[in-house]
Structure 1
Amino acid sequence: MQFLVFACCDSRVSPSNILDFQPGEVFMFHNIANLVPPFNQLTWWPGTQLRYSGVGAANEYAVANWNVKAKFGHLPPDEQNRDCEMESVNLSLTNLQTYPYVRERMARKALALRGGDYDFIKGCFELWEVKSIITPPIHR
């Protein structure tokens, strides 16, 4: 696998068709609004940890086991403003950087994050590089 794509579960267009992926080339993860939550490590039972959401589990599996080279988001619901669509993808790209194994591979240049937006009315796909950085929290 070379790519991990986060796609909306009610997607009206298949990312594999839009991006012309071949069988076995992409790991597709469908969830609501194709959003990626930030990494959150919680202890929920003595001696165990609830590491993160199902998105995190799919993310870690693809990055750790398949050495994916890029990740993509796609178009949220079409009634949203285009700027909001792109910002939701940017937020997911920012949240992906909170996962330790993503940060580590990005630092080694073994992983690239990309945002994508497909306008299925116009039939055009826009791809961009991550433009956000994670800064440490400010403590008062």
Structure 2
Amino acid sequence: MVRAFGTVPLAAVCLLVAGWGCSQPAELVSDNAEAIDFPPSFAQDGETWTKQPEMSEAEVERLSDYFRRNPSVAENAIVEGAPVVYAGARNARRYYWSAAAIDGAEWLCIEIGRGPVQLTDGRGNPFVEGGGRDETQ
């Protein structure tokens, strides 16, 4: 639902990310490439994460601020469109982007609200322990 004030539509994030542009072309996908199935909730890193139906205005501002401080992340070809958002305890959020690639599903996650911002990316299922690599930013 689009409202003048209140919850920001996910399209706003698409425009926000698109404004930074992508310096690399997206990987080609095959007809057999698997997409990631985002569950309604999952437990990982001692936290239970619940999928959110939409992003709030505050979440859009959080990501906008992060991308302003980290433009190379915004230029990553996988960061296109609106992310899938998960909420954890104490206002923690995980923002996931994914793409079905020839050699397996590729994903990127930005976690904000549990200490330093964590950037994790990888291939395959991001909802299993040890999937991806961490970079503290």
Query: Do these two structures clear the TM 0.5 threshold for a shared fold by scoring above it?
Result: no
| Bigger radius of gyration among the two | 1
Structure with the largest fraction of strand: 2
